[in-house]
Structure 1
Amino acid sequence: MFVKVALAAAAVAIPMAAQSCEASTAMASAKVKTSKSCRAGLSSAQASSARAVIRVGDQMRLPQRAQVIAIATTLQESNLNRYAVGDGGRAVGLFQQHPHWGGSRTDPAVSARRFYSRLVKVSRWKTRPLTEAAQAVQRSAHPNGYARHEGRAARIVATLSSARCGGA
């Protein structure tokens, strides 16, 4: 008899959990638009990472130019994959940061803050070509690779920052 009661209780709990999950999902959808048009042609995971990078730029009160440089850098370094690993396993995360950058390198917000903190120390970063500004921070083996992502990065920042997509 004890088993029957436990099964009956489980049968009641499962539909309630499903309803709770659906309600949470609906509330989350209301806060951040995730439709294809609000992902700027990115996968959901990429768009989430890009939003984190943009949000940190906003929190640091940096101009949109900084966000475009950051997004172009992540497109070149990891294709906006926060779990990317390169350089023989030493470089990880969106920005492919090495161990000397510190811990939590796969956390988009932490790695973005580190990138921006170094970017703002670069002389004339606001007016330099994107590739020069990004390379001054990253010191990449492929310094000219950033330029090809500038247009796409600008579109991503504009789309994800727009009011209709839950941006500023």
Structure 2
Amino acid sequence: MGNAAAVLTAGGALGVPARGQLIAVMTAMGESGLRVLDYGDAVGPDSRGLFQQRDNGAWGSYADRMDPLISSTNFYRALLAVDGWESLPPTIAAHRTQRNADPYHYERYWPAAVEVVSALTGDVALSGCQPAPPGDITTEGWVRPAAGRLSSPFGYRIHPITGVRKLHSGMDIAGPCGTPIYAAGPGLVVRAGPASSYGTLVVIDHGGGVLTRYAHMWNEDVLVTVGTPVAGGTAIGRIGSNGMSTGCHLHFEVQRGGEFVDPAPFLRSLGVVV
């Protein structure tokens, strides 16, 4: 936490917006676990410090790279030089700054970075700092509810746990546990809590008899409470594998007039790329 505080101090001194400071903490988590490491890895044996900065002249001296304030300052200067960093997904902004072999390496550390910065700043909401949703938000305010691959569509199937043929009442989006989940459209949270086979379930009422339902989160990964108004693209939780689940994924349902409908064509009808 002391090293995270140093990262934030350096960002504040440079006037870096809160989102940029979150990206820096996320990057340091992904590179060193927020530790000042005096060693590198097989790919970069000359890497050092919080950000595992290389001995290539771009990141200062050995002493600079081992100093949390100086190494953070040098990270911010490189981040601010990335064209359009503010609108990039955090992991891509970090990748273009650090040039990691895997552009999505940092993605898993974003939720933890939000928690650490919230604890240090007292800003629980961190307004404006949530990760950018996958895809564009339509003019009606709708968006894809999570990044990842469609692993199981709506329709009848053999349940992977019970072995019984039954209706799969939503679509599954598979992704690493901790991947952000977003409100698919504007509405009001009407349920957020344990729900038997669903694990932990969030339900949003969009009016006109339309509900969207987000399942298999862990309790601690729910970011909204009942009565919370949300816009499409608001982060409401994180992908988990709670309840009757065989792996990390979002089970996403749409109800219209009390009946389950196929979420994919429903979202496409609103201009969302599924």
User: Common fold, TM-score beyond 0.5?
Assistant: yes
Aligned mates of 2:26, 2:121 — CA distance in 1: 15
Number of the residue aligned with 2:90: 130
Number of the residue aligned with 1:114: 74
Number of the residue aligned with 2:204: none
Aligned residues: 117
Number of the residue aligned with 2:19: 65
Is the 2:37–2:48 contact (alpha carbons within 8 Å) kept by the matching residues of 1? yes
Is the 1:84–1:94 contact (alpha carbons within 8 Å) kept by the matching residues of 2? no
Number of the residue aligned with 1:30: none
Following TM superposition, by how much is the alpha carbon of 1:87 offset from its aligned partner in structure 2, in angstroms? 3.1
User: What amino acid maps onto 2:22 in structure 1?
Assistant: V
Is the 2:37–2:52 contact (alpha carbons within 8 Å) kept by the matching residues of 1? no
Number of the residue aligned with 1:99: 55
**Could you say which structure has the higher strand fraction?**
2
SS in 2 for 1:85: coil
Following TM superposition, by how much is the alpha carbon of 1:110 offset from its aligned partner in structure 2, in angstroms? 0.4
SS in 2 for 1:92: coil
Is the 1:64–1:157 contact (alpha carbons within 8 Å) kept by the matching residues of 2? no
Q: RMSD over aligned Cα, in angstroms?
A: 1.4
User: What amino acid maps onto 1:136 in structure 2?
Assistant: R
Deviations, residues 75-126 of structure 1 (Å, cap 9, x unaligned): 1100001125213430000000001211120110000000000101111111
TM-score by length of 1: 0.66
What are the ranges of 5 or more consecutive residues in structure 1 without an aligned counterpart?
1-46, 164-168
Q: Give the ranges of 4+ consecutive aligned residues of structure 1 lying more than 6 Å apart after TM superposition.
A: none
* Identical residues among aligned pairs (%): 38
Following TM superposition, by how much is the alpha carbon of 1:142 offset from its aligned partner in structure 2, in angstroms? 2.6
Aligned mates of 2:116, 2:72 — CA distance in 1: 16
Out of 71-80 and 81-90, give the one that drifted further: 81-90
Number of the residue aligned with 1:162: 122
User: Which of the numbers 123, 140, 154 marks the counterpart of 2:100?
Assistant: 140
User: What amino acid maps onto 1:159 in structure 2?
Assistant: A
Aligned mates of 2:50, 2:38 — CA distance in 1: 7
**Could you say which structure has the higher helix fraction?**
1
Change (3 A) 1:97 1:154: same
Is the 1:78–1:84 contact (alpha carbons within 8 Å) kept by the matching residues of 2? no
Following TM superposition, by how much is the alpha carbon of 1:52 offset from its aligned partner in structure 2, in angstroms? 0.2
